[in-house]
C-alpha cells in the first residue's frame, strides 16, 4: 500500500439537515455535527488501517457558522497523520444551500482513532 497515495485520498459523505437534526432556532445541533464527523473519522481510519478502530480524542473542533434546516452538509475526511497504532483524521464540514448552491466551510475538527485487536487493545497499524 502506497502511504503517500492513501494519505492524499479523501472520503466524503453528504446529508440534508432535517428538523430532527436542529435546535429550537432551526440550526444544526452541535452533537449531531460531532456524531457525523466521528462517523466519518471511523470510516477513513478503518479503510486505511483495515482494522477496527476506536475514537480516542477529538481536538480543535471549531463551529464557524450555523447550519440551517434544509441545508446540505458535506463532510470531507482526510488522514493527517499515522502513528504506530493511531491515525489522526481531519474533518471539514461544508454547508450548502440546496437551491442556490452557495457553500461555505462551517465546521472543522481533528479526530484521533486507534486501531484495536479483538480484545480492544491497541494494535500496530500494518500488522496482522
How does pLDDT run across 44-94, given as a tens digit for each residue? Answer: 999 999 999 999 999 999 999 999 999 999 999 999 999 999 999 999 999
* Percentage of the chain lying above the pLDDT 90 cut: 90
Its pTM stands at: 0.91
Domain 3-116 -> CATH class: alpha beta
Using CA atoms, how far residue 49 sits from 3, 35, 45, 83, 116, in Å, is: 11, 21, 6, 11, 10
Pairwise CA distance, residues 93 & 14, whole Å: 10
- Are the CB atoms for 72 and 95 separated by under 8 Å? yes
Using CA atoms, how far residue 23 sits from 14, 28, 67, 68, in Å, is: 20, 6, 11, 10
Amino acid at each position: 500500500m502506497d502511504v503517500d497515495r492513501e494519505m492524499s485520498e479523501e472520503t466524503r459523505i453528504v446529508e440534508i439537515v432535517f428538523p430532527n437534526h436542529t435546535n429550537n432556532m432551526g440550526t444544526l445541533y452541535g452533537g449531531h455535527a460531532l456524531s457525523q464527523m466521528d462517523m466519518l473519522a471511523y470510516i477513513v481510519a478503518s479503510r486505511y488501517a483495515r482494522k477496527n478502530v476506536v475514537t480516542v480524542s477529538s481536538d480543535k473542533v471549531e463551529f464557524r457558522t450555523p447550519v440551517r434546516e434544509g441545508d446540505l452538509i458535506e463532510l470531507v475526511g482526510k488522514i493527517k497523520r499515522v502513528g504506530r497504532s493511531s491515525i489522526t483524521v481531519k474533518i471539514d464540514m461544508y454547508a450548502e444551500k440546496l437551491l442556490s448552491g452557495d457553500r461555505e466551510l462551517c465546521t472543522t475538527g481533528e479526530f484521533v482513532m486507534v486501531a484495536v485487536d479483538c480484545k480492544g487493545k491497541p494494535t500496530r497499524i500494518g500488522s496482522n
